[in-house]
Amino acid sequence: MIKIKKRKILLLPGDGIGPEVMAEVKKIINWYNYKKFLDFETDEDLVGGCSYDKHGTPLTDEVFFKALESAVVMLGAVGGPKWDTVEFAKRPERALLKLRKELKLFANLRPAICFKQLVDASTLKPEIVSGLDIMIVRELTGGIYFGEPRGIKPIENGERRGTNTHTYTSSEIIRVARIAFDLAKKRSNKVTSCEKSNVMEAGQLWREEVQLLHEKEYKEVELNHMLADNCAMQLLRNPKQFDVIVTDNLFGDILSDQASMLTGSLGLLPSASLGAKNKEGEMRAMYEPIHGSAPDITGKGIANPIASILSFAMALKYSFNHDKEAENLEKAVQAVLEDGFRTKDIMSKGMKEVSTSQMGDAIISKLK
Ligand code: IPM
Ligand code: MG
């Protein structure tokens, strides 16, 4: 067993705009170390396409072991068109999936919050999205992303068959549902569980296990079951009906992208991927913005660092139990938006357009 170093943060900026947004996170971590003596120990390394270019693999064993002994991995983004033709097993995305799977980060928390300062940035009408505060809990280490058998194989008639397997065990469903119920208790006390139990047995099991857990341990929380396609529709029709949504790996991937656009920009949304707590109460976790590597704007200094900075706020809260500091950082972000500072992705008339690093500096200037 590799022991987790409690204050260790491994920074993996990755590809595309990853290094640009991570630079702002580094400034914030330094601020906390010097001003609040929080004593974080950081290390930095390669992941994704840049690691492939240098080492021939998107995740070296050395980096993987560094991740294993870190309490927190801060990830930027991986991938880009440069690596589109790389063989499947060595694609930048495989690094991300290996980290999730091998660090056993089964619960992926993806908040979708619509800041009041940015109501107009959403493509939906203000009255539909203002005040929106949803938490999507996505199962992250199971389902069709990892199920066996998988692969592409020739078949007798000369065609090829591509196979992936959607599979869940009871315990995989129960542990992630428990996270969702516990979160709901601290929020608006409502969980919506999404699957396709009308067509998939794994979905039927999902519904049954969530229902049983609810009856056994969480009767005080309101629970609704919803088919995933209906959930996609309801997210656009009336998103404020949701509090916590719990769903599998694939539906969670899709529904969280959809939910993110309710808030105006993918550049705003953080995420946390959490593992189980060990006997000492320690837990591995990885934090990353929802957005990808955005090759189209890489190197221009215009990427929005807010998603990454808010990911660090989630780390402060979920990994380091610095709830007050997390709130402080979130408030600093809101104050900067209130002052009218905007990166290009959320720019609107009358506001001040700023670069990635100016946005980071402005947020730091609001920290107390
Ligand atoms: C996400 C991404 C990843 C996923 C990709 C990059 C492998 O879309 O984190 O949502 O599909 O999980
Ligand atoms: Mg996705």
Tokens 């890489």 correspond to 298
Q: Distance between CA 25 and CA 329 in Å, rounded?
A: 11
Using CB atoms within 10 A of its CB, is residue 108 exposed (0-12), middle (13-18) or buried (19+)? buried
Q: How far apart are the first and last CA of the chain?
A: 39
Closest CA to 286 of 9, 48, 7: 9
User: What is the whole-number distance in angstroms between the Cα of residue 217 and the centre of ligand 1?
Assistant: 32
45 is catalytic: no
How high is the pLDDT of residue 281?
A: 85
Q: Distance between CA 288 and CA 357 in Å, rounded?
A: 18
User: Residue 125: how many CB atoms within 10 A of its CB?
Assistant: 9
Q: Residue type for 225, please?
A: H
Question: Are 359 and 24 within 8 A, CB to CB?
Answer: yes
Q: Distance between CA 193 and CA 228 in Å, rounded?
A: 9
Q: Distance between CA 146 and CA 168 in Å, rounded?
A: 10
CB of 93 closer than 6 angstroms to any ligand 1 atom: yes
- Maximum Cα–Cα distance for the chain, whole Å? 68
CA contacts within 13 A on the Cβ side of 287: 27
229 is catalytic: yes
Closest CA to 337 of 236, 267, 260: 267
| Domain 1-104+276-368, CATH class in plain words | alpha beta
* pLDDT tens, the chain, 368 aa long: 788 998 999 999 999 999 999 999 999 999 999 998 899 999 999 999 999 999 999 999 999 999 999 999 999 999 999 999 999 999 999 999 999 999 999 999 999 999 888 888 888 999 999 999 999 999 999 999 999 999 999 999 999 999 999 999 999 999 999 999 999 999 999 999 999 999 999 999 999 999 999 999 999 999 999 999 999 999 999 999 999 999 999 999 999 989 988 988 778 899 999 999 888 888 999 999 988 999 999 999 999 999 999 999 999 999 999 999 999 999 999 999 999 999 999 998 899 999 999 999 999 999 98
Closest CA to 176 of 260, 239, 111, 109: 109
- Tell me if 1-104+276-368 shares its fold with 112-263: yes
Closest CA to 97 of 140, 63, 60: 140
Q: Which atom of ligand 1 is nearest to the CA of 97?
A: 7
What the block records as the tokens of 288 is 């990353």
What contacts 314, CB < 8 A, 6 or more positions away? 109, 270, 271, 272, 287, 326
Using CB atoms within 10 A of its CB, is residue 208 exposed (0-12), middle (13-18) or buried (19+)? middle
How high is the pLDDT of residue 101?
A: 96
Question: Are 103 and 286 within 8 A, CB to CB?
Answer: yes
Q: How far is CA 58 from CA 49, 86, 108, in A?
A: 6, 11, 22
Nearest CA to ligand 1 atom 1: 253
Neighbours of ion ligand 2 (CB under 5 A): 253
Do β-strands 272-277 and 283-287 pair in parallel, antiparallel, or remain unpaired?
antiparallel
How high is the pLDDT of residue 10?
A: 98
Q: Distance between CA 119 and CA 125 in Å, rounded?
A: 8
User: What is the whole-number distance in angstroms between the Cα of residue 256 and the centre of ligand 2?
Assistant: 7
Domain ranges in the chain are 1-104+276-368, 112-263
CA contacts within 13 A on the Cβ side of 160: 6
Ligand nearest to the CA of 78: 1
User: What is the whole-number distance in angstroms between the Cα of residue 253 and the centre of ligand 1?
Assistant: 7
CB of 15 closer than 6 angstroms to any ligand 1 atom: no
Alpha helices in the chain (DSSP H): 18-35, 49-55, 61-68, 92-102, 126-129, 170-185, 201-217, 228-237, 249-262, 306-318, 323-338, 356-366
What backbone torsions phi and psi does residue 330 show, to the nearest 5 degrees?
-65, -40
How high is the pLDDT of residue 91?
A: 97
How high is the pLDDT of residue 121?
A: 82
Candidate from 91, 253, 258, 290 with most ligand 1 atoms within 8 A of CB, to mutate: 253
112-263: in CATH 1.10.3720.10? no
Question: Are 223 and 208 within 8 A, CB to CB?
Answer: no
What backbone torsions phi and psi does residue 94 show, to the nearest 5 degrees?
-65, -30
Q: Distance between CA 94 and CA 52 in Å, rounded?
A: 11
